[in-house]
Amino acid sequence: MTHTLISVVIPVYNGSRYLRACIDSALSQTYPHVEIVVVNDGSKDNSMEILKSYGGRILIIDQTNSGPAIARNNGVKASHGELVAFLDQDDVWDDIKLERQAALLNQHSNALATYCDHRGIDEHGVVTSPSGALHYPRTSGQILEHLIRGNFILSASLVMLRRSAFDAVGGFDASQPHWSDDYDLWMRIAARGAFLYQIETLAGYRRHSSNTSGSAYEMQVGNAHALRNLERHLNREQHQRLLPLLREERYQSTLGTAWHYRLQGRRKEAINTYLAAIALRPSCLPAWFGLMRALLISGGPKS
């Protein structure tokens, strides 16, 4: 039986603490035809030393620090698989993860991507939450409308996609904030076809003090960017059907961002962002009240 090659792409930046657990989980996969591409994104710790210890079992790409979006894109460019799976440096996979997801995509030839469930783990690998389904909605198929309401695909480590789908949308957009560049990609792919939910918990998503998950404020900024970018990728039918929802979600993210700017005393940014929210919903009073309060800010941090 011929097995489709799966390319695993792992971006690394100062990831030495959890890197061995991450790579070992990729190497231990039961799926028989896997290549592992690790992109060292200008690490200043001993990550490269750890990577070299694996010898020929992994392909290492060394680049100046450019951010995870460019690192992942370069990893995909250097890979050869028809299927691509991403793994973050501090996350781990169950050994059947790739096997299960490849089987699902093989069963549904029209699907573009799949995501599995995850368990939350802490810095010691202790399970803090047995299933993401307890905290996040789960849907399968045409998921774009659900994604517009919020990113429930919490980590790139949960996703496997067809290289053809990745290439068709141009990969990760490096102009997006790094805490939302994956959300942006999932929506652009979901606008083109089915995104299947693998009803199994197959990955450990690690939360710790030094990972790059954004704050609530950063996530709102990132979401607003991603939602604005999505409008350019909708076809006519999607645009007519989803534009009201998209504008509402953009408004909420923009309003939240303006609120954070105002609390930080960043007067110019708060004013400009409240004006952007008003442009999306001119009749909504909270944005007008926020704008008036922002105009009263004096002093504080410079924009």
6 pLDDT exceeds 70?
A: yes
Residue where one domain finishes, among candidates 212, 246, 268: 212
Tell me the per-residue pLDDT of 188-209, one tens digit each, with 9 for 90 and over: 999 999 999 999 999 999 986 6
Judge if 42 and 143 occupy the same domain: yes
pLDDT at 283: 87
How far apart are the C-alpha atoms of 5 and 127, rounded to whole Å? 31
Alpha helix segments (H runs only) across the chain: 16-27, 47-52, 68-78, 97-107, 144-148, 163-169, 181-190, 216-230, 236-263, 267-280, 285-295
Altogether, the residues listed in the chain come to a count of 303
Q: Which pLDDT does position 217 carry in this prediction?
A: 66
Question: How many domains is the chain partitioned into structurally?
Answer: 2
**Confidence (pTM):** 0.86
The answer to whether the CB of 105 falls within 8 A of the CB of 160 is yes
User: In which band, very low, low, confident or very high, does the pLDDT at 30 lie, cut at 50, 70 and 90?
Assistant: very high
Is residue 15 located within the same domain as residue 156?
yes
Which of 61 and 125 is assigned the larger pLDDT?
Answer: 61
Q: Which of 94-98, 168-172, 194-198, 232-236 has the lowest mean pLDDT?
A: 232-236
Render pLDDT for 80-122 as a digit per residue (tens, 0 to 9).
999 999 999 999 999 999 999 999 999 999 999 999 999 988 8
Co-location of 36 and 181 in the same domain: yes
Q: Is the pLDDT of residue 245 over 80?
A: yes
Same domain, 191 and 145: yes
Shared domain for 111 and 15, answered yes or no, is yes
Instruction: Note down the domain range covering 290.
Output: 234-295
Q: Do residue 255 and residue 187 come from a single domain?
A: no
Residue 275 and residue 196 in one domain: no
Residue 300 has pLDDT above 50, yes or no: no
Average pLDDT, the chain: 91
Query: Between residues 135 and 148, which one has the greater pLDDT?
Result: 148
204 shares its domain with 251? no
Domain co-membership, 111 together with 37: yes
Q: Is the pLDDT of residue 298 over 50?
A: yes
